[in-house]
Structure 1
C-alpha cells in the first residue's frame, strides 16, 4: 500500500487489486463515501463538504482511519465474502520507524487480516526482480515510489545497509506544477501534472523535444488558459529532485564495505518503481554512479510481486521482515550437542 497506488497480490491468482490510495470523506456526517478509483474520479470535482484523503503520505500512515478503510476495501474486494481471515504481508519503506510499523500492522488487523508480516521494500524488490537473495554477492536495489525512495544493498538474504528518504514521484509532480506556475503563471491540477510526467517527462535533453498542450487556470486573470510544454522544460523542472536522489545514493555507496563495493562494480544496480520508467533515468543514473544500472522487468509492480514471493518464506520472517536465524541457530546448537555426546 503506497502513497499513490495500492496493489494486492493473491496467491494463485496474481495481481487482483491495483487502484489509487485515496478515500473520499464527507465532513458533514464524517463518513467515507468512496475509495480507490471511485474516490480518484472525484479529484478536483468534489463539493465543499467532501475532501479527498491520502491515507499514506511519504510511505507512512498519515490518517489511521482512512488507512483502515482502504485496507478493508482491498480485502473485501479481493476476497469477496470469504469468512476466513487471510494472512497478509506488506512491504514498507526502509526509513519508517517501529511506531509507524506497528500502526500499519494494527490498521491491517483491524481491517480483517489474521496475521500481518512486514518486509523491507528493498528485499521485496529483490524477490520481484528474481535475484537469488541467498547469494553472498551484493546487489543494489533502488526503489523509487510515489512518496519515498528506498535504496539498499542485498546480500545473503538480508538488507546489509539501506537508506530511505521521503522523496519520490510526487516530488516530481510538485516540481512540474511549480515550474508551470512560475514560468507560465498557470495553475494546473494533479491529474494534469501526472499526465505531463507520464507523457513527455524525460531526463535527457532532446534535439527535438516532445510537446504537449496543457490547460489550467491563469494566475493573473483567473480564466481557463492553454500553453505548450516540451520535454526539455520538464527535464529542467525535475532535475533538482533527481539530483537529491543521486546525493542519497552516493551517501549509501560511501558507506558500503569494500567487498560489497567490488560486487556492485560488476553487478550494478536495479531500479524499480513507476517513476523509474521516465526516459533517460537509467542512463543518467548509471553515468552518475559509475556502475551498470538496469530497469526491473515490471517496475511498477515489482515490489508487490516480490512481496507475494516472500509469502512462502513467511515462517522464516519475523514481523519486521528479517530472516529468523534463531530457529536455525538453535537447531545447529542441538546437533552440535548431540555430536559431542
Structure 2
C-alpha cells in the first residue's frame, strides 16, 4: 500500500507527557484517524478499543485520553482506534456525527470500501487482522437520553462478560448494517457499548470505570462466579423513516409534517411501552408510506409492532423501546428507535 491507501496513522507507546492536557488539544494533535498501540504487562495478548466512530459521541474518547495521560500500564497489549477526528473538530467540538456528505462510519465495515470512510474501515480491519486481538470494545454515546447498554451479535458468555464491564443492559441483534460489531467471532468477540447521552457526566464516568476494568483486569472474557446481573433483549427491529420525510418533535401535531414525535418519547428508553403507547402523529400527505419496520431477513414487521388509528401511530403490543432519538438528522439517516417484544426479555444472574 502507498501512503494514500493507509488513512489511519499508527502511533506506538506515546509518552503521557506528550499527550495534550485537553481532549480538544489531543484531537488537534492527532489530526485524523489513528491507531495507538500501548505495550502491556503480558505482551503475548492484545485487546482492541475503538472510539469516536461518530464525532459527536465523546465519552469513550474522554476515557481513553484520561488513561493515556495517566500512563497506566494495561494488563495486556492494547490497540486503540480513534476514528472520526475530523468530524469531531469541524465547527464546534463534537457537533458533527459525520462530515457532511459522508457515510455513517459505523455502516462501513462491509464491502464495498470504495469511498473515504470505506477505506478507513478497510484499513482498520487490516490492522485488526494483523494484531489478532482477543477481543474488541467499540464505545459510543446514545443519540438521545438513555441508560447505558451494550449491543452484540452473538449471545454467549464472552460477549456478556465484556458488556458486564460497563452495564447490565444487553441487546442481542441479528440485524446487518455494516457495523463494526458485525465482525465479531468466537475467536474475537466484538461488542458495542452505548454509554448513555453525550452530554451526561454519568456517561463519561461509566466509560472511565468500564475502560479501567477492560484495561487492567487480567481476564475479561468470563463472567464472575457471582454478583453480575444482566437484562437481555433479543431480535430488535428498527423504526425507519424515509430520508426525505418532514418530521418534528412536539407535544401536539405540527402542520405539514409527515411525522410529529412527542417530546417525551425518550422516557420509554428501556422501559416497557404498553400496548397503545403513542409514538407520533402522521401527516395526511404520506401516512405510513414514510415508515419501514423490517426484521433481519427483510420481512415487513410494521403491523406486528405498530398500528395506526386515524393519524396516530401507536405500539400494537407491549414493547421494549430503546435508542429512541430526538435528533431529527439521526432519525432520518438512521432510525427513530429500536423495539423488541416484551417476551424477548431475559434476566441473567451469575
Compute the TM-score of the two structures, normalised by the length of structure 2: 0.28
Instruction: Look at both structures and tell me which one has the larger radius of gyration over its CA atoms.
Output: 1
| Structure number having the greater helix percentage | 1
